């Protein structure tokens, strides 16, 4: 945990998330990068948008677990993802029209309250290569 303590010494942390489905819906997975730590998970059959939300939920929960509750409450997060739709929904620009995304939006909204501040930023896919690679590795392994 010494390395993690050093990593999160700053009060602002950037996380990268990606979710993807082969087919829409189809086999899906998530990829998350928190500092120098990488996580991926096979999710089963779902839409790409649902996988994107689940990646963000995973990242917020994992970040809080790594930091601990008190430190999380003092930390500003910048969540970077290449899903313009999800970012615009979370920033209040787009409405959530898909009923299965509404509970995930609420879950993200509640999880962000564990942190001092959370900004959701859209980035080009080229800047999200690590998280994208993790998604594809999980999809390739099927687990």
What is the full DSSP assignment across 9-60? -SSEEEEEEEEEESSSSEEEEEEEEETTEEEEEEEEEE-HHHHHHHHHHHHH
Name residue 41's beta-bridge partners.
Answer: 30
The residue behind tokens 């501040």 is 117
pLDDT digits (tens, 9 = 90+) for 68-123: 999 999 999 999 999 999 999 999 999 999 999 999 999 999 999 999 999 999 99
CATH number for position 10: 3.30.420.10
pLDDT band, very low/low/confident/very high, at 58 (cuts 50, 70, 90): very high
pLDDT digits (tens, 9 = 90+) for 6-53: 555 557 999 999 999 999 899 999 999 999 999 999 999 999 999 999
CA distance 68 to 104: 23
Question: Do 38 and 17 contact (CB within 8 A), yes or no?
Answer: no
Number of domains into which the chain is organized: 1
Question: Do 47 and 101 contact (CB within 8 A), yes or no?
Answer: no
């Amino acid at each position: 945990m010494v390395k993690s303590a050093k990593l999160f010494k700053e009060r602002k942390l950037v996380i990268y998330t990606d979710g993807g489905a082969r087919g829409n819906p189809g086999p899906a997975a998530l990829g998350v990068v928190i500092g120098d730590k990488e996580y991926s998970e096979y999710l089963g059959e779902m839409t790409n948008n649902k996988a994107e939300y689940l990646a963000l939920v995973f990242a917020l929960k994992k970040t809080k677990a790594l930091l601990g509750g008190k430190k999380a409450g003092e930390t500003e997060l910048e969540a970077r993802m290449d899903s313009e739709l999800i970012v615009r929904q979370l920033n209040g620009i787009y409405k959530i029209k898909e009923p299965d995304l509404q509970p995930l939006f609420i879950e993200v909204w509640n999880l962000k309250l564990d942190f001092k501040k959370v900004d959701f930023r859209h980035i080009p896919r080229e800047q999200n290569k690590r998280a994208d690679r993790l998604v594809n590795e999980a999809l390739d392994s099927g687990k």
